[in-house]
Amino acid sequence: MTQFSDLNLDPRVLQALTDAGYVTPTPIQADAIPPALEGRDILGIAQTGTGKTAAFVLPMITRLAQGRARARMPRSLVLCPTRELAAQVAENFDKYTKHLKLTKALLIGGVSFKDQDALIDRGVDVLIATPGRLLDHFERGKLLLTGVQIMVVDEADRMLDMGFIPDIERIFGLVPPSRQTFFFSATMAKEIERITKTFLKDPARVEVARQATTGENIAQGLVEFKPTRRETEAAEKRAVLRALIDGEGEACSNAIVFCNRKVDVDIVAKSLKKYGYDAEAIHGDLDQSQRTRTLDAFRDGKLRLLVASDVAARGLDIPAVSHVFNFDVPSHSEDYVHRIGRTGRAGRSGKALTISAPRDDKYLAAIEALIAKPIPRVENPLKDAPPQEVREDRPRREERRTEERGERRTRVRGPRRDDRREEAPVPAPALAEAAPTAEQPRPERAPRPERDHPERDRSDRDRRPRGEPRDERIVGMGDDAPSFILKSFAERRAG
């Protein structure tokens, strides 16, 4: 079996590996390090969690062991899609260079430009950056890339998903054409293949597993969840998640819960904390310092459940993650591979459970087509029982709907007819007394005085012949009432 001592690495690098307890390289490391030390370009394809980071860091620092960096001109460049992944590469660099005098700078968002400029001005051997922050420094005139000897693109397919490919192509145009280039990824899309053909020269293709395969040491399961009502789907789904966590018991020492949307990350984290679970959220909208604190607590074992968006699927290298829960089925099938790859790392066993609703059928079919095998179905732990969260929330929801209906009826329709009749009653006997009966002679009506209404007078004059007097008779009911109505009142009073 191949040992690290057989790979012609720098003795000081070997000493750092021994101090870390590493003796045997992983397949991707054993196949990629020898051609990389020869100066060849590398195209590495391997599933997540197989040691791709060390596969390019170890030969890179061995080649950089001789030489000296100049101000604002890094000797090597590592591009990463997320801040977390860039920080992870920086940690690996520190681990393997403890016996070497190599310097590094980490250029990511959420950190002061001033502090990063100070490191670049002193000169660094390794520059680890996200594409956006790197171009920001370059456009401000604080960085020159003409001294780059080795360039690494880590998680190249994730760069494509996040829209970084135009930035990557621009950065390739800023570095010398004589550089050595490493491309590493778990999947290889057609767009990535086009870039590799353009910017890599006769690369050594290192593929230790079929593209987009999942580790055999990861036990997968799928819960087919059917909500009872559309408006309670989210609450029922959270109840299923809690039941799955409880069902794993002590075996679930720590876990990552993945959601598709950032807003769902916050909602699920708050719901878990409400029911007494030790959980925190992490996604791209949070402040970088808060993201760092949360990751450190999870890495140190002080946090049990990490609720995350896909920003964490490529940036976490925590060997002891026991479980991964997919609260949502990922809309991109490749993300499923990276999500469950957060568990079962470094030869350990892991478990990944996914909750699938009927609307996720097309995404689920794409995932099973990608990994070339069906995901084993797992029985819903709640079965048909209504979740506690839904039972508790239903009375409040019905009460709130009733109140809303009452307010809407009062606001739009006003008081009922019966209420208005009670407020302004009209007594029938009084009306009968005031009105003349059919037998009584009707008193002569006094002539109605002329009203000062120019428009009405002008209209009347237009309708009658000139010189004819105005007709003062009442047309229609006017102030009088028909005799049959008055008779009914009189008969009722007499009876």
Half-sphere exposure (CA, 13 Å, Cβ side) for 144? 9
pLDDT digits (tens, 9 = 90+) for 232-245: 999 999 999 999 99
Residue 448 pLDDT:
55
Task: Return the bridge partners of 350, or none.
Answer: 218
Q: What is the DSSP string of 243-274?
A: HHHHHHGGG-SSEEEE-SSHHHHHHHHHHHHH
Assigned superfamily of 4-207: P-loop containing nucleotide triphosphate hydrolases (3.40.50.300)
Average pLDDT over residues 13-17: 95
Domain with CATH 3.40.50.300 in the chain: 4-207, 218-386
The pLDDT value given to residue 192: 82
- What does the block give as tokens for 208? 């230790």
- Does this model's pTM top 0.95? My answer is no
Sign of the alpha-carbon torsion through 87, 168, 67, 96 = positive
Query: What is the distance between the alpha carbons of residues 16 and 151, in angstroms, rounded to a whole number?
Result: 23
pLDDT at 434 over 50: no
Asked if pLDDT for residue 99 goes beyond 80, the answer is yes
Residue 324: its pLDDT value, please? 96
Q: What contacts 24+ positions apart, CB below 8 Å, involve 330-334?
A: 330/258, 330/260, 330/363, 330/367, 331/260, 331/363, 332/161, 333/212, 333/363, 333/366, 333/367, 333/369, 333/370, 334/157, 334/161, 334/186, 334/187, 334/212, 334/370
pLDDT given for residue 251 in this prediction: 93
Average pLDDT of the chain, as a whole number? 81
Whether residue 493 contacts residue 429, with contact meaning beta carbons closer than 8 Å, is answered with yes
Which of the listed CATH numbers 3.90.1170.50, 3.30.56.10, 3.40.50.300, 2.60.120.260 matches domain 218-386? 3.40.50.300
